[in-house]
Structure 1
Amino acid sequence: MKTKLIFLLVGSGLITACSPTFDSEESTEDKIVLEHNQEILNSRINYINKPLVVNNSGKAEIFDPEAKEKTAQSVSQTSTIENSEVLDHNWYFVAEVESPVFKGSKLSATHVQVVDDKAYVSYNKQGDIHLGGLEVFDLTNRAYPKLVSQALFDNADVNAITTDYQGDEFYRKIWLALSHKNKGAVVRQISLRDGLISNQVKDISLSKFTEGGVSASANGVVRSGNDLYITAGKTHGGTFTLNVNDLSFKNSEEYSDAKYVATNGSIPFASSVVTLVTGDSAELKVKPVGSESLSRSIPIGTAVHQNVELNYRGKSTLHFAQRHPETVFVTMGLEGLKGFDIYTEEEVFRTPDNILTKGNINGVTSDFDYLYTANGADGISVFNMPENPGELQSVFEWDMNEVPGSANYMTTDGEWIFVAKGGEGLKILRKGKLGEHQTLYGFDSKGVPHGMEPKNVEVCSELLPNLFRNVLPERSNVTVRNPEYFDNPNREIELLKDDKVYVTFISEGAGYRNTLGYYYYHKDNPPSQISDLNKVVIFPNASAKYSGGDLIQGNTMKLLGDFEEGTVIGFFVISNGWNGNKITDGIYTQYTIPEFNVSERQQSIVFYDEGCTSIVLAFEDIALPQGDKDFNDAIFMISSEDPESISTSDFIRK
């Protein structure tokens, strides 16, 4: 689809009788550029898909699995899979996204909201130039999130957004808090059609509802029930309430330096709305949702920023955590993060004094287990969700591999974590799920399965030499060197008669601690989707002794039960599935069925070694086209009690 330059007449709607009357001259012609060409949009995304590892000082860095060792490879990589701290969850650096460029100016990421499998990102242009944007990410593929839609706005910065929870990913309204070149603080309503940003746009100028003059900038927006709350900063600002159905004016409360707005409670109806007012005498303005009474003020001290041009113009936000609906977390810039009870007005949580060196805490978000903060030049921090009042307990800090970092805003839905970095774009992370994985007989603390065969299988002495010499040479691109493996459709094991099946560990050359498992189905009823698979883990930690695990060549597991004639057995590897004491969902799972892989490409090969009369299964754990493509990250031998039970005639023979 080609880029469309659309000139839209963006104006106000009818306002109810209790609202000031709109001047018909308010309507102006704004330029909006829509782009839905994914090839163009995704050229700005750099996919990383590597885990963060944390050293014993609580500092995180990216682990490079292509080093092929679970130990440090360079001075720059000091944390390793072997010596890293064992955390309850794993975090993965999925991708980084460059900011869009509009009219020769690089825009700055300002706000993100994740809803279902979509993320909505807003942009502005810092300084006196007014340019902005809105983008939509599709998060369906956990390794390769995609940009699917973009709108760029002339004359308007976008400072914050909120989405309509009554719609869905295909048809949804989004409300934008704007700083408009000509109209000052503006609320823009824009609609999605078929999941793409459409040309259905409506603007409401908040300055029409002030008595003293133009309100310069809208900087926060949130919905609760039928109310849409918007904050506008500087002079002639405050908190404004509109009706979400027609954007008619309901009421406002005017004061200077309003910075952000949030509500607590559950969707669709919250109980309290809170506005942050920044400066030397910062305060919270609190009142019940739906109330037209004046807010109650809670003094919270100083909210200013260090190492910025204007101390009062830094990013500040509010956040209610699911587990603490009575506490609003406030980013206080130089003063860190604080949590205030909106009923007792007491400070109940705060970050450690040493959390900042040169940065400011600008953003905060949470899931059920953790609090996350965006610390400006100091990167990001992760804290355990507190149980009791006091100082927050740090899990780790990450400088984002940048000096200085520039983390200005964060949001999470419990899995995806977006870090907005101003003009430097976005970093996309993902928290790995612990998952519930069925195993054969359980496992020990090193991920070695219980129930292994009492006697190790003797592996043919020529199997590995032949494999590394002729089949899978180290760091050799097998997709180029041996294309016949990828032309052959036979990638799984089919039984010609009833029998037992065994899997033997041969070797591994992975930087990750991977997890190997299997599934099975009848050849006449193949699975059509991943959810059709009944998956069972064989080796929770498929890593060799002295290489992150405790397996040795010949360790063998018998798969559960006797398999009937016509059964097809497939296999999967959870990339980085073992986190040191438990099985997780890792970065992604590679299946012997290519269509089920995040890359939608073949990530494993099966061949028959004629000299050793052995069936060999080998995986590439990093999703193609990334990785070294040598397919020797996890290597196993498949066997049955009767060698004639498994069909080998269609396998590549070496």
Structure 2
Amino acid sequence: MKMKSLLGCTLVAMLILTSCNSDDNVSVENENGKIIINNDVQSLNKRIKYNNSGVLDIITPLAGKNTPAQATSMPLVLVAEVNPPVYAGRTLKATHVAINGDYAYVSYNTEGEAYGGAVDVINISNPNTPQLVVQAIFPNTDISAVSYENGKLYIAGAASVDAFPTLSSPGFVSAMTLNNGLLTTNYVQTQLRGNVGTSVTSTGNKYYAVSGGAGDLVAFDKNTNQIQATIPVADLRAVGQNSNKIVVLSGTNGVKVYDAVTMALQNSFSTSVDVPGAKRTIDFLGNNLLVSEGYAGLGVYNSATGSKLQTIAVPTNVTGVDNSDITTNAVSVNNQNLFLANGGAGLYIYKNENQSLSLIGSIAMNGSCNYTMSKGDYIFAAMGNGGLKIAKMVTNTPTLNCSQFPTYNGSAWLNINSNETKEYQGSASLMGLNVNANLTFCGSLSVSQSLNINSGGVFYMKGSLAQGQQSNPWLSLNINNNAVMRVEGNVVIYGNLVLNSGAKLEFIGNNSTITIHGTVSKSNNVTITGTFTDTFNKL
């Protein structure tokens, strides 16, 4: 991935300018430098696609690429795919994501020597139908990274020195004041030494940016946007903050740890030397630092001592993928779960168990996974073809008590035989489910293929269930002759719902919902009872 440029102090006559007292702050007033705001929701949402939405199969460590054998503990669905913006005839590429509440902020740049970037704002409050609500195009400017804090969006990137001749170098960082979470032209931009602003973060009364090439770590006052400290460090790829420390990653000089207030160097240690210009990220798991190290995989370090605690090598011999396309590009920590963007190998998921990371499984992404970020229930993956995938964890309703049941740890194909009664709890990702007698599942469950409740069978789902895929609606949820499905919680069906003769669909309690993306087929003597919300009015 290229390391090139973005802008200078402030943008354009259309922007609200702030005075610049530092020699590094260069005022840019050029009509080609405008931020172009697009809030036409109808046109923007043509870029959001649901064709492939549905339950994601997770490939377990001992299974083949397309045949997971065991259920995993992380049920996931692909919510939507977002096509990248096109500007000036060029398709942009997603580079970074920041999340605050209901909004996800997605940055883009242009691959190659040309410059051009964008920021999208996606409303994710409704997990079934995310909405692209506003977009900002940055002509002649790449956006490398974004970070949100307290009503401001901090942006790092690079600008064309040809388009903006007052610039002495392309790297920049900026602060945009948002309006109720949405993009504005209230935008203050400061030039950085180096060819690109690669990463940005904030804490306390400062924000911090790093730049690549002959770059710097720069600390800014949040209120005045003035530089408070500049520390030269070459080839900087990422910056993060943890426990009042600012941590930077250099592709050649490893990790350096600074005090967030005084900017005094606290510690430094080596990591693998990275290929020039590659985008990398860091994240934190307690006091441990996680470093995406490209072909060297993931490094887990004690940030206080610099000792390496664990190495997770890049996957090898992935079917249909050249090993040269497999590289750990990014890492994101969400609670005790860890997500790795492993290039052509896809997205890999780990869990922190007893201070060691163990593999849950992987997801083939149908393209190169160049960046990932997870927060709350969401996982975002930026793809090599420029687009963005939005995935979501299927999570349990926290008010349900499931402790009386054993945890399900069995096959990815769950079959309840005749005369069997089974009760399970937990979070499980299945490929298929057949209920021929009695099954109660309490927790969160996904079923990627067909779910069949056969004649006389009873399936009681307490919690959250996701089933099927929009790309193949015939992988349906079937309630067959005289079978019963009881729902206490939330059900999302991405394919079709088939209610055969005498089928019963019963909703328990007052807060159940059902969302059906496909069609509903009803035979004779079907009964649907209880209080529920039918999201798409299909029943």
Q: Secondary structure at the match of 2:264?
A: coil
Does the CA contact (< 8 Å) of 2:397 and 2:463 recur in 1? no
**Counterpart Cα distance in 2 of 1:53 and 1:145:** 22
**Counterpart Cα distance in 1 of 2:239 and 2:401:** 47
Which residue pairs with 1:369 in the alignment? 336
Q: Secondary structure at the match of 1:329?
A: strand
Which residue pairs with 1:49 in the alignment? 53
Does the CA contact (< 8 Å) of 2:59 and 2:362 recur in 1? no
- Alpha-carbon offset, residue 45 of structure 1: 1.3
Residue 359 of structure 2 is aligned with which of 394, 414, 417?
394
Residue 375 of structure 2 is aligned with which of 397, 413, 421?
413
**Counterpart Cα distance in 1 of 2:525 and 2:434:** 11
**Counterpart Cα distance in 2 of 1:111 and 1:143:** 22
Which residue pairs with 1:342 in the alignment? 303
Question: Structure 1 pair 615/320, CA: closer, same or farther in 2 (3 Å)?
Answer: closer
Does the CA contact (< 8 Å) of 1:605 and 1:618 recur in 2? no
**Counterpart Cα distance in 1 of 2:198 and 2:499:** 57
Q: Secondary structure at the match of 1:302?
A: coil
**Counterpart Cα distance in 1 of 2:48 and 2:361:** 26
Question: Structure 1 pair 58/99, CA: closer, same or farther in 2 (3 Å)?
Answer: farther
- Alpha-carbon offset, residue 366 of structure 1: 1.3
CA displacement, residues 44-91 of structure 1 (integer Å, 9 cap, x when unaligned)? 111233112335545698xxxxxxxxxxxxxxxx54xxx742222211
Which residue pairs with 1:273 in the alignment? 246
Residue 34 of structure 2 is aligned with which of 31, 50, 56?
31
1:312-327 matches, cutoff 5 A:
312-321=276-285, 324=286, 326-327=287-288
Higher strand share: 2
Which residue pairs with 1:186 in the alignment? 172
Partner AA of 2:47 in structure 1 = R
**Counterpart Cα distance in 2 of 1:21 and 1:238:** 12
CA displacement, residues 544-566 of structure 1 (integer Å, 9 cap, x when unaligned)? xxx86786417599xxxxxxxxx
**Counterpart Cα distance in 2 of 1:127 and 1:284:** 28
Kindly report the root-mean-square deviation, in angstroms, between the aligned alpha carbons of the 2 structures. 4.3
Which residue pairs with 2:73 in the alignment? 88
Residue 242 of structure 1 is aligned with which of 198, 204, 220?
220
Partner AA of 2:375 in structure 1 = D
CA displacement, residues 376-434 of structure 1 (integer Å, 9 cap, x when unaligned)? 12211111114235xx421112221x2xx311111111310000114431111111213
Question: Structure 1 pair 442/295, CA: closer, same or farther in 2 (3 Å)?
Answer: closer
Which residue pairs with 2:209 in the alignment? 230
Partner AA of 2:343 in structure 1 = G
Does the CA contact (< 8 Å) of 2:505 and 2:529 recur in 1? no
Matched, 1:216 2:195: yes
Partner AA of 2:197 in structure 1 = A
Which residue pairs with 1:202 in the alignment? 188
Question: Structure 1 pair 55/219, CA: closer, same or farther in 2 (3 Å)?
Answer: closer
Higher helix share: 1
Which residue pairs with 2:424 in the alignment? none
Matched, 1:115 2:100: yes
Question: Structure 1 pair 42/513, CA: closer, same or farther in 2 (3 Å)?
Answer: farther
**Counterpart Cα distance in 1 of 2:503 and 2:362:** 46
Question: Structure 1 pair 343/181, CA: closer, same or farther in 2 (3 Å)?
Answer: same
Which residue pairs with 1:499 in the alignment? none
**Counterpart Cα distance in 2 of 1:635 and 1:394:** 47
**Counterpart Cα distance in 1 of 2:104 and 2:281:** 19
Does the CA contact (< 8 Å) of 2:258 and 2:267 recur in 1? yes
Which residue pairs with 1:14 in the alignment? 19
Q: Which runs of 5+ in 2 are unaligned?
A: 1-10, 162-166, 318-322, 409-413, 422-429, 469-476, 478-484, 508-512, 531-539
CA displacement, residues 310-360 of structure 1 (integer Å, 9 cap, x when unaligned)? xx1112111112xx2x21111110100101112111001210464573311
Which residue pairs with 1:496 in the alignment? none
| Number of residue pairs the alignment of both structures matches | 460
Partner AA of 2:277 in structure 1 = R
Percent of aligned pairs with the same amino acid: 23
**Counterpart Cα distance in 2 of 1:435 and 1:622:** 14
Question: Structure 1 pair 556/335, CA: closer, same or farther in 2 (3 Å)?
Answer: closer
